[in-house]
Amino acid sequence: MWYLLCLVPLVLFIPFIGDFIFLPGTSLSDITISHYPNLLFIQESLRSGLGVPLWSNAIFSGYPFIADPLSGLHYPPGWLAFLFPLPLGINLTTALHLVFGAFGMCLFLKSEGLHTPAAALSGLAFALLPKLIGHYAAGHLSLLYATCWTPWLFLAEKRWKADPHWKALWSAPGVVLGLITLADPRWTVYSGLMWLVFSIKESVNVQSVFKQTGRFMLNFLLQGLIALMVSAALLLPLMQFTALSTRASMTAADVLDLSLPLSGLINLFFPTSGGNVEWIAYPGAVTLALTLAGLTTKSLRKPAGFWMWLALGAIILALGSGIPGMQFIASLPGLSLLRIPARWLFIASICLVIAAGFILDSLLKLELGKRKMNLLALIGVGTGMLIFTLGGSLLAGKLVSELLLATIGLLLATVVIVLFSRSKWSASTFSLLLLGVLLINLLGFGWTQLDGKPAGEMLSQGAEVTSFLKTKPGHFRVYSPSYSLPQQTAALQGIQLADGVDPLQLSAYWSYMLSATGVPSSGYSVTLPDFATGEPSTDNLAIAPDALKLGLLNVCFVIAEYDLSSDGLTLIEQIGSTRIYENCLCQPRAWVDLGFGETRTVEILEYTPNSIILQAEGPGTLVLSEVLYPGWQLLLDGEPVVIQPYQGLLRSVELGAGSHKVQFDFKPGPAYWGAGITCATFVILLMLFILGKIRSKS
């Protein structure tokens, strides 16, 4: 029966299963901005028989889709979303990942010797972590997918240590770490460090330390190699893309952005975010109560000590810029690619859940009459939270629901623990009462974190603007300095954007757009153009774009929430507060430059994500208004020719006299090599699995 608790996360999504989910009071999410458009793009490409899209023209005037970790191409379990209408498929896949994570945590703790009730409660506490739910509401879909694999990584390490044989290689920790990388490479660093520390703990044997060290290093190299081979399909193209992106030039200040402030440590006790989802640190009332009970009772603390220390280290690292010397560490190669130190709070939350599981298990083993615990820390913190909640509510002039929910939860958990230590309650009764508190606390808070908005409502934003633009013939791009055309609506209607939102942006394109848009940079930004204060409708109000430079990118229309004064832009329509300007200096998607300002039109024969075929008359320079990127190959009349840069950004080729067929194909070597390595690795692992099963039966 206890294992059924792993299914509880499904309940959280029932009210919102067909909606786009947001944090309350917001209307922006990475799901609508990135994940939905990407999944829709893949769905439509497959339905139309175009195959797997390697390049996308949806944003940034084109970018290597195959190299983007947010594309959804590389992570097989995420493909489940393709089978359903969106966003239903996204929500269902997420809910199943939480169930998967709960079950993995339960099995891991069972392997550590915990009784089923303690393991199952911890699994549920993990799946309902406010940190996980809050980040999903913010749209960090791939991060949630990857995090749900973490307990399976520990379980794989345990099983591998018990049977380090080739027949068990298919379930080795390196395989799980590789799958985590395919889901979200950022979490590889965090989970990889957790696995490394856990592996060291599991390997330590003081009687043969040198022998153990040698074996540990060999195992570490083996698992690292397996992880690299499993995730090569993403890692190889990603490494190439990252080296050419703005991510590679982040400063220490960019890396340490959104460090947890010291005042944010109070978020460990209350389900608040301090104004930012990254600062959510609350592990839940039951987890918090059990951890506090264990802190001051040696017999309870000892089994959980490793995880408590690991949680403390993660909390310290989450302070980021508040730690002396972090500016230097943040500038080191490799680490400089990681942003947002507050994400160490994921590790802190996971470790606290595991520690609480060990403490609960120790409590359940206590015989009647020996349930003596030092509950000073628990009662003291509970009293302090009650005073804080009453004071905060008096200052606010109303009961603050988040403070009240946390305080009531901790007080209820405290009462249950105290009564268990003083009464003849059975272990089952105690576990069921804690389960009740956990459900009230975490499900209650989970629902306050989620705000569902109908898909029709979100996909109709800017619909009148796109309807107007769809009447315009030919290929063209749109630029908006005020994010007037939401990315999800543009994707649904097939409108290509010169602006966009994504953590990876080509440095060459970013530099060009600085001058083309006139919007200055305030540092690393996931949006292009930058929005200095986070208010797209007003941030770039006084800045006039360069119509000529935008025109080279085939930007024929500029859309803004305010008046624009720029040579070459003509107001042709206003829909509500949205102005639509036509760019009189817009170049077609492809043209032949004859020199002296004269051009010749080009016929587009085929235009797909991976291939563009043109028919052009020479002589002259054929220019394709597409971003130059490694992997694009050119056939001129069937013969391979080197693509030449135009204006340092676009693709071009010199044409001789006469008619020419020009074909651009995207065949990125790193993507093909990576896919080959990954596929071969999975085939080998499958063969090892089958051979192992055959031999075990013989």
3-state secondary structure 265-292: HHHHCCCCCCCCHHHCCCCCHHHHHHHH
- Of the pLDDT bands very low, low, confident and very high (cuts 50, 70, 90), residue 334 is low
pLDDT-wise least confident of 170-174, 347-351, 500-504:
170-174
Beta bridge partners of 603: 615
- Strand boundaries in 38-141, DSSP class E: none
Q: Which helix (H) or strand (E) holds 590?
A: strand 590-595
* pLDDT given at position 321: 83
Q: What is the pLDDT of residue 370?
A: 66
Residue type, 223: Q
Strands 578-583 and 500-501, bridge-based pairing: unpaired
For residue 308 the two structure tokens come to 């408590």
Residue 588 banded pLDDT, cuts 50, 70, 90: very high
pLDDT-derived band at 697 (thresholds 50, 70, 90) equals: low
Neighbours of 477 (CB within 10 A): 25
Q: Burial of 424 by CB count in 10 Å (0-12 exposed, 13-18 middle, 19+ buried)?
A: exposed
Question: Helices (H) and strands (E) in the chain — how many of each?
Answer: 27, 17
- What contacts 305, CB < 8 A, 6 or more positions away? none
Scanning the structure block, which residue is given the tokens 């000590």? Answer: 305
Using CA atoms, how far residue 66 sits from 34, 75, 77, 585, in Å, is: 14, 12, 17, 32
- Would you state the pLDDT for residue 207? 47
Helices (H), ranges, 112-230: 116-127, 130-137, 141-147, 150-162, 173-183, 185-203, 209-230
Q: How far apart are the first and last CA of the chain?
A: 35
Q: Which residues pair with 591 in a beta bridge?
A: 601, 623
For residue 25, pLDDT beyond 70: yes
**Residue with the two structure tokens 């709960």:** 102
Does 696 have pLDDT greater than 80? no
Asked if omega into 529 is within 30° of 0 (cis), the reply is yes
**Percent of the chain's residues with pLDDT above 90:** 66
Q: What is the pLDDT of residues 276-286, one digit of tens each?
A: 889 999 999 99
What average pLDDT score do residues 310-321 get?
A: 92
Query: Quick one: 431 exposed, middle or buried, by C-beta within 10 A (0-12, 13-18, 19+)?
Result: buried
Ranges 220-229, 271-280, 441-450: which has the least confidence: 271-280
Q: Using the predicted structure, report yes or no on whether residue 689 has a pLDDT greater than 60.
A: yes
Q: Look at residue 179 in the predicted model and tell me its pLDDT.
A: 97
659 DSSP β-pair partners: 617
Residue 569 has pLDDT above 80, yes or no: yes
Residues in the chain, total = 698
Going by pLDDT thresholds of 50, 70 and 90, the confidence category of residue 300 is confident
pLDDT for res 273 = 62
Indicate whether 383 pLDDT > 90: no
Answer with the residue of higher pLDDT: 327 or 241. Answer: 241
In this predicted structure, what is the pLDDT of residue 206? Answer: 45
Give the pairing of strands 611-627 and 603-607: antiparallel
Cβ-based neighbours of 652, under 8 Å, separated by 6 or more? 593, 621, 622, 623, 624, 643, 644, 645, 646
Which structure tokens are listed for 492?
Answer: 């649904």
Whether 127 and 57 have beta carbons less than 8 Å apart is answered as: no
pLDDT for position 329: 72
R_g of the chain, CA atoms, integer Å: 28
Phi then psi for residue 173, to 5 deg, are -60, -30
Dist CA 413 CA 410 (whole Å): 5
pTM of the model: 0.94
Structure tokens that stand for 106 in this block: 């339960």
Mean pLDDT over 628-654 rounds to 95
Average pLDDT over every residue of 283-295: 92
| pLDDT above 70 for 369 | no
- Cα-Cα-Cα-Cα torsion 621, 625, 629, 631, nearest 10 degrees, comes to -70
Average pLDDT (237-266) is 87
254, 320 Cβ separation under 8 angstroms: no
Phi/psi for 258 (5° steps) reads 65, 30
Position 595 pLDDT exceeds 90? no
Average pLDDT for 245-266: 84
Q: What pLDDT shows up at residue 218? A: 83
pLDDT by residue (tens digit) across 91-124? 999 999 999 999 999 999 999 999 999 999 999 9
Query: Phi, psi (5° rounding) for residue 649?
Result: -135, -40
Whether 208 has a pLDDT exceeding 60, the answer reads no
Average pLDDT over residues 470-487: 94
369 vs 260: CA distance, rounded Å: 43
Using the predicted structure, report yes or no on whether residue 211 has a pLDDT greater than 70.
no
| Least confident span in 182-186, 233-237, 538-542 | 538-542
